[in-house]
């Protein structure tokens, strides 16, 4: 039996705009409206609006929320304060990743968490299974609230006239509650494009109004295709690609997330600190082709005809005007400048390890 795809509150808007809709994590989502390259360039030059309502949103409440999150997250919540968010991973005992996510401290007893679309049920179950005797209640708000990402160098300029909050006072990874044209929203200076910008969360009832208000600023609708090329240029990990249940954050280059948290035990701590100290047998690196071609995920990587790894993400970079990729390879080949081969359509093309991020703007 084929399960019907879920729809976000913006589905009809996407269809009416002529978007190409695809199955993404069980949702019918826009991969592009007109051109992925044009949407990508719009976000790099001015601003774009992304529907990210397929992602999950949890509310965690209780006197032991901080203690609980210290146990299930690898980052250190002592670095937080009210109105601040933090990027982190939840890991299994062996150090591989349950999910990567962002949580925001509204107060020490109340946190808002945004998780990946394909992991909502898994994450909700994982979190609840590890509460133990702690005073923690988790509410899944995913289907009740809509989420939009408003990203690009002109995002502040476009958005400020609509807001009753001074956006200059909202620093990177901080959030505020305010009104957008008299509509209540949760707004955070976060995003996954490598640009300045915001992520907004609000009740479903306001979805169409807020979309319309944002588009009228001059921002362009942007789909999943541009979202992926933007995050790849910025070298942001994507769950299911650079991190998953067989890749650790240290292997993915996210070693900076792994904190010692003296006196605090957390899931995966022992092996992750060991990897951070002594290194891993494989590591994610940046890749370019030295010949014409496009690198895609799962393409095999070779050194002198010996397989040494595989591509985790790859594609054309509209900003750099060339193919870029990330690959998980044996550590002895990780140095920038190392020549290797990438199998593209049964032909080995010359490639090279390059420094990352490919693009940096924030």
Q: Tell me the per-residue pLDDT of 175-220, one tens digit each, with 9 for 90 and over.
A: 999 999 999 999 999 999 999 999 999 999 999 999 999 999 999 9
The angle at the Cα of 184, spanning 183 to 188, to the nearest 5 degrees, equals 120
Instruction: Report the topology of domain 11-55+143-233.
Output: Gyrase A; domain 2 (3.30.1360)
Tens of pLDDT along 252-303? 999 999 999 999 999 999 999 999 999 999 999 999 999 999 999 999 999 9
Domain boundaries, the chain: 11-55+143-233, 57-140, 282-362
151 forms bridges with which residues in the sheet? Answer: 48, 197
Class of the CATH domain delimited by 282-362: mainly beta
Question: Tell me, what's the pLDDT at 1?
Answer: 55
How far apart, in whole angstroms, are the C-alpha atoms of residue 31 and residue 8?
Answer: 14
Question: Tell me, what's the pLDDT at 3?
Answer: 76
Q: How far is CA 235 from CA 284, 286, 326, 359, in A?
A: 10, 8, 8, 8
Start-to-end Cα distance in the chain: 46
Question: Tell me, what's the pLDDT at 158?
Answer: 98
Question: Tell me, what's the pLDDT at 361?
Answer: 86
User: Could you tell me if 54 and 248 are in contact, meaning their C-beta atoms sit under 8 angstroms apart?
Assistant: no
Region 57-140: CATH code:
3.30.70.1400
User: Could you tell me if 70 and 266 are in contact, meaning their C-beta atoms sit under 8 angstroms apart?
Assistant: yes
Question: Tell me, what's the pLDDT at 2?
Answer: 61
Question: Tell me, what's the pLDDT at 362?
Answer: 80
């Amino acid at each position: 039996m084929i399960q019907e795809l879920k729809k976000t509150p913006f589905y009809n808007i996407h269809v009416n705009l002529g978007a190409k809709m695809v199955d993404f994590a069980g949702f019918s989502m826009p991969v592009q409206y007109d051109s992925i390259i044009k949407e990508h360039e719009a976000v790099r030059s001015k601003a774009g609006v992304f529907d990210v309502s397929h992602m999950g949103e949890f509310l965690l409440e209780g006197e032991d929320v901080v203690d609980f999150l210290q146990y299930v997250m690898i980052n250190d919540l002592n670095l937080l304060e009210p109105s601040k968010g933090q990027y982190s991973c939840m890991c299994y005992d062996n150090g591989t990743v349950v999910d990567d996510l962002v949580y925001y401290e509204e107060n020490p007893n109340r946190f808002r968490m945004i998780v990946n679309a394909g992991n909502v049920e898994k994450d909700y179950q994982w979190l609840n299974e590890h509460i133990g005797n702690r005073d923690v209640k988790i509410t899944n708000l995913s289907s009740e609230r809509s989420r939009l990402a408003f990203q690009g160098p002109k995002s502040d300029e476009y958005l400020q006239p609509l807001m009753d909050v001074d956006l200059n006072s909202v620093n990177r990874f901080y959030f505020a509650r305010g009104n957008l044209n008299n509509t209540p929203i949760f707004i955070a200076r976060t995003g996954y494009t490598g640009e300045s910008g915001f992520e907004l969360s609000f009740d479903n009832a306001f979805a169409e109004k807020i979309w319309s208000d944002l588009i009228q600023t001059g921002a362009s609708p942007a789909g999943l295709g541009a979202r992926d090329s933007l995050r790849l240029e910025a070298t942001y990990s994507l769950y299911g690609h650079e991190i998953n249940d067989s890749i650790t954050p240290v292997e993915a280059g996210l070693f900076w997330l792994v904190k010692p948290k003296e006196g605090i035990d957390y899931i995966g701590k022992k092996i992750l600190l060991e990897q951070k100290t002594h290194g891993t047998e494989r590591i994610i690196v940046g890749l370019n082709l030295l010949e014409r071609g496009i690198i895609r995920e799962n393409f095999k990587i070779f050194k002198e005809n010996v397989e040494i790894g595989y591509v985790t993400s790859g594609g054309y970079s509209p900003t750099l005007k060339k193919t870029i990729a990330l690959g998980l390879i044996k550590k002895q080949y990780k140095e920038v400048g190392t020549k290797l081969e990438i199998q593209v359509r049964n032909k080995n093309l010359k490639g090279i390890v390059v420094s990352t991020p490919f693009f940096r703007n924030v």
